[in-house]
Amino acid sequence: MDFELPGENHPARKAVRAWFEANPRPSGRQLAEAGYVVPHWPKPWGLAADSELQLIIDQEMKRAGVTPPRNPVAVNNCAQSLLTHGTDAQRARFLWPALAGEQTWCMLFSEPSGGSDLGALRTVARRDGDHYVVKGHKIWTSLAHKAKVGVLVARTHPDLPKHKGLSQFLIDMDTPGIRIRPIIDMSGHENEYNEVFLDEVRIPADRLLGKEGEGWALSVTQLQTERVALSRPGAIWGHGPSARELVEGLAEIGALQDGALRDEAAQVYIEGEILRLLAYRSLSDRMNAQTPGPESAVHKMLAAPHGQRVVDLAKRAQGPRGMLAGEQPFPSQLLEGEDPYNDWDYAFWFSPAVTLGVGTQEILKNVVAERMLGLPREIDPTAQLPWSETKRKA
Amino acid sequence: MNFSLSEDHLLLRQSARSFLEKEISLSRVQVPGATVADASYEANWRKITAMGWQGLVVEEEFGGLGLGCIELAMILGEMGRTLAPSPFLGTLFGTWALQKGGSPEQKRAILPDVVAGKMILALAIAEADGSVDGPCREASAQRQGDRYVLTGVKSFVIDATAADWLIVAAQDVQAGRRAFFLVDAKQPGVQVELLPWRDVTRQVCDVRLSDAVGEPLAMADEALWPWLRDRLVFAQAVENTAGTQRVMEMTSDYARERVAFGKPIGTYQAIKHSLADMLGQAECSNVATLYAAWALSESDPRASIAAAMAKAYTSEAYVSAAHRSIQIFGAIGFTWEMINHLYYKRARANAELFGNARAHRERVIGMATARAA
């Protein structure tokens, strides 16, 4: 057992640092081709990197002031499925532009009729010659307005039980029949999330990912991968300020002189440090395991409410001034970097979302209790019935 | 960088688990009205010393195994898991104090006998209000010629009843500061009173000193105490973590079996979510404690903050898990015959010894902000 992180003289670090010195302003394509976007993937896309090398690459990229291409849905969730379930043609067409950030991806999963019960989704893909024709309504789709590629889960077999009749597709977001409408969330921000209407959208049959009926298994894997990807120290899904910045900020404004607040800050700080250690462990697990397991659900279950406590304490330290729109708690921590959650005020008003998105806290607790403690699953009375029958009843 | 236990560590833990499951029984303290006198202290200690665990952290030159905090955590964790009543902890604390602070002669005189299982130690550090960081108001040491004479009271001394030697913190009157003394527990000037401590799996005592002869340890308080404190609270974190894990396991076993309204109670989300929270606390306790074990074994500069974090976090996690366990078992979990209350009492007792969670959080925030500044 060794908790020491790789040091300054680690040979791998020297090599990575040399690359960034030779390529001080790399394009997304250069980063992708160097294997630095998904280092844990096999070659040629990644470097088959272990947790240590991945951490080094993360740190050296930050040190060089380089921001990796922003394409979270591809990089963190879905693109990995092409390695295991995609065709050669799909890999050739989609992977490099995705990793290079040239084509943004989005996930067409949740629907208005229900988010947690994803398996009950109603969007239908009907086979028509060498195409599928899709009709339905998706919601909470991050980045849909910027995306070139959508990963769609839709029902191809309405007469099978709900989890068995789903399939996944890689669709072009500019296909006729797709309409995107932004959702304005309670923070007042626009364009973080969208509704997507699919009206007789024709998809070439070779855009099917995996086989018909594999949509549920693929979706579950992709969501679990996301939970691992989210295991960074930032308060908002791993992004934005962490408990360390909170304590620095509170010290800076003198708020730690208040005994009660000081104790809460210590509590949040300790939680944050422990979650960092757990995140490193998840990283190790991710390297060792082929597919992420329920441990990633534990991390998200702990990290999401922790993040809420981080931004909550910062907000409370402001007193009534904190209720002014845009008011920041800590003068020295002002809107650095491209990460929108570095804005403490925005991060606070956004924070109710972190126990909703990517599995609500309640669903995560079910997953943890059922899969890690072996508690009995609650029987879903609709799970074994043909979906078409359950829909008629509903 | 590798966040997993090695095969050797896992094997060590497994062998300790098999041994304790076979050899240690709490059935006598599960009888209503049982006291610590029923906890089979001596019999358990004979079994444990036959395994040689009392020599785990003793350096090899004194016949011990010279192992570090990770290995210790494997064994001590299993004792925390089973609540195994024995003077192991007192002896461990005394061994640490003596090995770090004692002169070569003092160590040679005592440590080989500890390893041989012939000698039990205890560490007398706390004041009546539970404070351990000094100064010492309730016990003092006067130099008389080439020896010291100690008078006063030490509180909440773990395993003092069985101890042959005590390591006592007392105010050195001439020097005007706290110091540690090696005191023969069997001399007439030492009175040990076993306290009605609620955790009946552990002997906790007051020690009264009246002109008891003591020999100072070589190392000064300011060098010895920070080193020792990190290890004492780490040892508690190890017990807390293993206890939390055990409580979670037995409660989820029960929730899978106990049926109400036609279903196992673990089917209901109210129970499920409570157990998921418990699992989260167990995971956090585990990683915090292993990190502290690693930092202590490497003498890493982060060892103090790591130990304080582990103590602060695991104290409250254990109390919370043990309380939830009583709640989920329902009324049966509230009876003396069940084991739940023994874990709850151990959790509450550990949380109050050597500084409570809040006191250690105060240390953590102090260290964290000092580092940033």
What is the predicted pLDDT for the residue at A290?
Answer: 46
Residue whose token pair is 């509230």: B334
Find the CB nearest A365 among B267, B273, B312: B273
The reported pLDDT for the residue numbered A288 is: 59
Mean pLDDT over residues A378-391, rounded? 87
Contact B280 A262 (CB under 8 A): no
Q: How confident is the model at residue A230 (pLDDT cuts 50, 70, 90)?
A: very low
- Residue A113's pLDDT band, with cuts at 50, 70 and 90, is confident
- Is cis: bond before A44, omega within 30 of 0? yes
In the structure encoding, which two tokens stand for residue B17, read together? 């688990």
The reply to whether B17 and B83 lie within a common domain is yes
H-run or E-run covering A187: none
Chain A contact for B150, CB < 8 A? no
**Average pLDDT of the residues of chain A:** 90
d(CA A55, CA A186): 35
Chain B residues near residue A276 by CB distance under 8 angstroms: none
* B14 and B82 part of one domain: yes
Helix axes B88-101, B69-82, angle to 10 degrees: 160
Best of B3, B10, B277, B298 to disrupt the A interface (most A CBs within 10 Å) is B3
Residues of A in contact with B273 (CB under 8 A): 362, 365-366, 369
B329-334 contacts: CB < 8 A, separation 24 or more? B329/B251, B329/B254, B330/B258
The Cβ-side half-sphere exposure at A288, using a 13 Å CA radius, reads 11
Q: What residue numbers bound the domain in which B240 lies?
A: 223-372
Q: Are B82 and B191 found together in one domain?
A: no
Average pLDDT value for residue range A177-193: 88
- Residue A107, CA atoms < 13 Å, CB-side half-sphere: 24
Residue A308, min C-alpha distance to chain B (Å): 16
Residues of chain A contacting B244 with CB distance shorter than 8 Å: none
Domain membership flag for residue B126: yes
B199 and B153 both lie in a single domain: yes
Determine, yes or no, domain membership for B292. yes
pTM of the model: 0.93
CB contact, 8 Å: B216 with chain A? no
Class of domain A105-214: mainly beta
A105-214 and A231-357 have identical folds = no
pLDDT at A52: 82
CA distance A8 to A225: 30
DSSP one-letter code for A378 = P
Would an 8 Å CB–CB cutoff place B260 in contact with chain A? Answer: no
Looking at residue A181, its pLDDT comes to 95
Alpha helices in A8-115 (DSSP H): 11-22, 28-33, 51-63, 72, 80-85, 88-99
3-class SS string, B214-252: EEECCCCHHHHHHHHHHHHHHHHHHHHHHHHHHHHHHHH
Mutate to test the interface with B, among A365, A367, A371 (most CBs of B within 10 A): A365
Q: In this complex, which of B70, B276, B361 lies closest to A301 when CB atoms are compared?
A: B276
Give B328→chain A minimum CA distance, Å.
Answer: 13
Q: Are residues B234 and B350 in the same domain?
A: yes
Strands B165-172 and B147-158, bridge-based pairing: unpaired
- Cβ contacts (< 8 Å) between B358 and chain A: which residues? 263
Q: How far is B37 from chain A (nearest CA, A)?
A: 36
> With an 8 Å Cβ cutoff, is B280 touching chain A?
yes
**Does residue B2 lie in a domain region?**
no
How many CB atoms are closer than 10 A to CB A156?
20
CA gap A114, A371 in Å, rounded: 22
Number of domains in chain B: 3
Chain B nearest C-alpha distance from A205 (Å): 42
What is the per-residue pLDDT for A67? 85
pLDDT value at residue A285: 62
CATH number for B64: 1.10.540.10
Phi, psi of A38 (to 5 degrees): -130, 65
User: In angstroms, rounded to a whole number, what is the distance separating the alpha carbons of residues A107 and A153?
Assistant: 8
Which of B253, B286, B365, B367 is best to mutate for the A interface (most A CBs within 10 A)?
B365
Strand B177-184 relative to strand B263-264: parallel, antiparallel, unpaired?
unpaired
Work out the average pLDDT over A258-271: 98
Query: Which of B9, B300, B369 is the closest to A256 by Cβ?
Result: B369
Q: What is the pLDDT of residue A292?
A: 56
CA distance A362 to chain B (A): 8
* Interface test with chain A among B287, B297, B302, B367, by most A beta carbons within 10 Å: B287
Domain membership flag for residue B354: yes
The CATH number given to whatever domain includes residue B269 is 1.20.140.10
**Coil, strand or helix at A201:** strand
Contacts of A365 in chain B (CB under 8 A): 269, 272-273, 276-277
CB proximity A247 to B under 8 Å: yes
Is residue B189 in some structural domain? yes
A370 touches chain B (CB under 8 A): yes
Question: Cβ–Cβ contacts within 10 Å for residue A69, how many?
Answer: 21
Is B69 touching A (CB cutoff 8 A)? no
- Minimum distance, in Å, between the CA of residue A281 and any CA atom of chain B: 6
Q: Which of B8, B369, B371 to mutate to test the interface with A (most CBs of A within 10 A)?
A: B369
Q: For residue range A363-380, what is the model confidence (pLDDT) as tens digits? A: 999 999 999 999 999 888
Does residue B373 belong to the interface with chain A, where contact is any CB pair within 8 Å? yes
Q: Are residues B296 and B316 in the same domain?
A: yes
Both B316 and B340 in one domain: the answer is yes
- Chain A hits for B277, Cβ within 8 Å: 365
Cα separations in angstroms, A308 against A44, A313, B170:
39, 9, 46
Residues of B in contact with A281 (CB under 8 A): 3-4, 287
Q: What angle do CA B128, B133, B139 make, to 5 degrees?
A: 45
> What CATH code would you report for A231-357?
1.20.140
For residue A389, the SS3 value is: helix
- Helix then strand then coil, % of chain B, to nearest 5: 55, 15, 30
- Write out pLDDT tens, residues A19-54: 999 999 999 999 999 999 999 899 999 998 887 888
Check CB contact of B313 with chain A, cutoff 8 Å: yes
User: What residues 252-311 of chain A have any CB closer than 8 A to a CB of chain B?
Assistant: 256, 262-263, 265-267, 269-271, 273-275, 277-278, 280-281, 284, 298, 301-302
* Angstrom distance (rounded) from CA B214 to CA B212: 6
| Residue B1 included in any domain | no
Same domain, B324 and B255: yes
CATH number at residue B136: 2.40.110.10
| Domain final residue, candidates B190, B219, B248 | B219
Distance of CA A290 to the CA centre of its chain: 18
Q: What is the pLDDT of residue A381?
A: 87
Does residue B108 sit in the same domain as residue B136? no
Nearest to A2 among B2, B276, B287 (CB): B2
- Name, in order, each residue with C-beta under 8 angstroms of B129's C-beta and a sequence gap of 6 or more: none
Residue among A247, A256, A277 whose CB faces B287 most closely: A277
Distance from CA of B317 to the nearest CA of A (A): 12
Within this chain, do residues B202 and B230 fall inside the same structural domain, yes or no? no
Whether residue B213 sits in one domain with residue B240? no
User: Is 70 exceeded by the pLDDT of residue A18?
Assistant: yes
pLDDT (tens digit, 9 = 90+) per residue, A267-315? 999 999 999 998 887 766 666 554 556 677 888 899 999 999 999 999 9
Residues of B in contact with A300 (CB under 8 A): none
ipTM: 0.96
Cβ under 8 Å to B: A residues 27-56: 51-52, 55
Does residue B63 sit in the same domain as residue B184? no
Domain ranges of chain A: 11-68, 105-214, 231-357
pLDDT tens for the 373 residues of chain B, in order: 677 788 999 999 999 999 999 999 999 999 999 999 999 999 999 999 999 999 999 999 999 999 999 999 999 999 999 999 999 999 999 999 999 999 999 999 999 999 999 999 999 999 999 999 989 999 999 999 889 999 999 999 999 999 999 999 999 999 999 999 999 999 999 999 999 999 999 999 999 999 999 999 999 999 999 999 999 999 999 999 999 999 999 999 999 999 999 999 999 999 999 999 999 999 999 999 999 999 999 999 999 999 999 999 999 999 999 999 999 999 999 999 999 999 999 999 999 999 999 999 999 999 999 965 5
